[in-house]
Amino acid sequence: MTPWTSLRPEPGRFHDEGSEDPPRIVLERVEVGDLQRRTERFKMMRRIAYRDREYGDLLVPADPASFETDLTSVPTIFTWLVPRTGRHLPPALLHDGLVHGAHEQPTYLSVEGHLLDRVDADRVFRAAMRDTDTGPVRSWLIWSAVTLSTIWHGSASWSRAQHLRYRIPAAASVLVIAVLGVLATLDLVDVVDGVPWMGSRSVLMELLGGLAGAVVIPFLLGLTWGRFAIAGVVSGIALAVLLHVTVALALITLGYQAAEWVARRRPIAAIVAAGVVIAAHVVLVVLFLGPFRSK
């Protein structure tokens, strides 16, 4: 089965262990780390089962007592696009169980005795999302993201040469897209004029040119990913189109974290708060009086 294979949703493929009933996901929340840097994790109190089209029944986790998950592994700044829970949660839990370190015991059970590598796990993940009727766009985005992670970390079945064959084009694509995104932004605000598909045109035409470039260039770069070309195209276009949103959200997140850091230190917080209030008053007065002074 390839990523091109069209699948019809079959919700019944997810079921409770030992029965055909819908899966019951029972989680226990645990915290890892010290008081200041706590990480939220979850234990699965019950196994869930998925009947894959190729590998048969797969059960996760193999050992509920030791298995932990972070649900859907999504950076905070992307949870608006891919929340940690939703229709994709059962597939995400399944994928967490199917992926394990090269020198670790499998964290899943295969009724038919199959051994799955990371590429197999990603393929099962995509099919499972289809079976839970996860939105097509979200499914492709999530699958492309986990595939990019697989390319970066490698698979136990790959040789070193194969790993480099996949990793170098992926890394180069991300770098090129990021650099071109910065140049396109600078071109839009007339700091530089070096992006051919934007040039010295009206703002609207430059925006259209930038958007076209954000689709065509990642598409062509994605084709260099070989067997993972679909993931390259999807992740590349997503990165290019969402680059500015991501940067903005990252800055907001950093600002929030800085505010939290300051707020936890009361003497410093009072000084900073006073400085912000005074600065706001000064800015407001200057902006308010500016038009009158010009008259």
DSSP bridge partners of 30: 41
Span 129-159, pLDDT tens digits: 999 999 999 999 999 999 999 999 998 889 9
Q: How confident is the chain (295 residues) per 10-residue block, as mean pLDDT? A: 71 90 92 76 94 95 92 85 92 94 87 94 95 93 94 91 95 94 81 76 83 93 95 95 86 82 72 80 77 52
The stretches of the chain forming alpha helices (DSSP H) are 89-98, 118-131, 136-153, 160-188, 203-222, 229-263, 266-294
Model pTM? 0.82
Q: Which residues contact 235 (CB under 8 A, 6 or more apart)?
A: 141, 144, 145, 147, 148, 222
290/294 Cα distance (integer angstroms): 6
Span 184-193, pLDDT tens digits: 888 777 777 7
